[in-house]
Amino acid sequence: MDKMLSNKLVILLFIAPALCLYALVVPYPLLKSIQYSFYQWNIVGVPKYVGLKNYIRLFTSDYVFVTALKNTALFTIGSIITQIPLAFILAVSLAKPTRLNKFFKSVYFIPCTISGAAVSLLWQFIYHPNMGILNSALNAIGLGSWTKTWLAEPKFALWAVVFSMAWQWFGYHMVIFITAMTSISPEIFEAAEVDGATGWKKIWYISYPLMKPFIKVSMILITTSSIKAFDNIYVLTGGGPANSSTVLALHMYNRAFRQLQFGYGAAIAVVLLVLCVVLTISLNKLFGTKNVDY
């Protein structure tokens, strides 16, 4: 057996089926999308090579693309601001393995197990202007002037989606941070207490620096998922009103499959890919932390 497993040809034969399947669902579609971004194609007819025409049009005459790019940036920043601090605070509060803490960990993590479409339908009822829980609660506490048609007003539609996604995913990042906190040696905290560190000082000067690699992972996950966010926005607002919540992934879908401009949609997909790669590299450099012994 050892002799067989040391043979590279045998190893290649074992991994070949999985490798072929992976190539069919990841690298091949990616390369074809890059190829089709240089073509004009309505999916049905014969693709026509147009060179950089799709990219030129994208950056010079497509006003929806500019709006979608701005909305994607706002959506990404809003997701980071709402999810990371809340997940960190809850992780600090629930790090101790008590029975009640285990219950709350499960409760906060449950939304992550629900599909984005189902979560969006739930929040559609919450945001409903007449029957929604949010407006009803505002009326009940005497803040009726604050009630809005949350998903139908350009100022609030995008942020309403951001909040619904934060509700779904903050528990996921909370679990990451709890894992980071429990991996820190208790002796470090004991030594800090001897030196007079208490409460938030221990969190700020010990927990936070040692958790930076985990925060980096969460930042990258939130950034990449926000850039390619689609299902929640599609179900909640459809990109409206007046493109106020249209993001790049939704704009790509509309161009490629609704307007049958597949080559143009592929160009938007390539821009999405470049954004994900550039931001991931940038975050890695920004949080460039050395290995830390816990």
Which of the four pLDDT bands, split at 50, 70 and 90, describes residue 66? very high
Which of the four pLDDT bands, split at 50, 70 and 90, describes residue 254? very high
Res. 197: pLDDT tops 90: no
Query: CATH: 1.10.10.10, 3.40.1190.20, 3.60.20.40, 1.10.3720.10. Which one for 62-246+265-286?
Result: 1.10.3720.10
Which of the four pLDDT bands, split at 50, 70 and 90, describes residue 76? very high
Q: What is the pTM of this model?
A: 0.86
Res. 250: pLDDT tops 90: yes
- Write down the mean pLDDT value for the chain: 87
pLDDT of residue 4: 61
Q: What is the pLDDT of residues 132-168, one digit of tens each?
A: 899 999 999 988 888 989 999 999 999 999 999 999 9
Q: Is the dihedral of CA 61, 64, 70, 73 positive or negative?
A: negative
Give 40: exposed, middle or buried? Use CB within 10 Å, 0-12, 13-18, 19+: middle
Q: What is the pLDDT of residues 34-59, one digit of tens each?
A: 999 999 988 888 889 998 999 999 99
Which of the four pLDDT bands, split at 50, 70 and 90, describes residue 218? very high
Residues 6 or more apart whose Cβ sits within 8 Å of residue 46: none
The full set of domain ranges for the chain reads 62-246+265-286
Res. 236: pLDDT tops 80: yes
pLDDT average, residue stretch 239-247: 91
pLDDT of residue 131: 87
Res. 201: pLDDT tops 60: yes
pLDDT of residue 294: 44
DSSP β-bridge partners for residue 39 = 49
pLDDT of residue 45: 83
For tokens 């040696």, name the residue: 185
Res. 268: pLDDT tops 70: yes
Which of the four pLDDT bands, split at 50, 70 and 90, describes residue 293? very low
pLDDT average, residue stretch 90-116: 87
- C-alpha dist (Å) from residue 131 to 117, 121, 140, 145, 149: 20, 14, 13, 16, 11
- Type of residue numbered 74: L
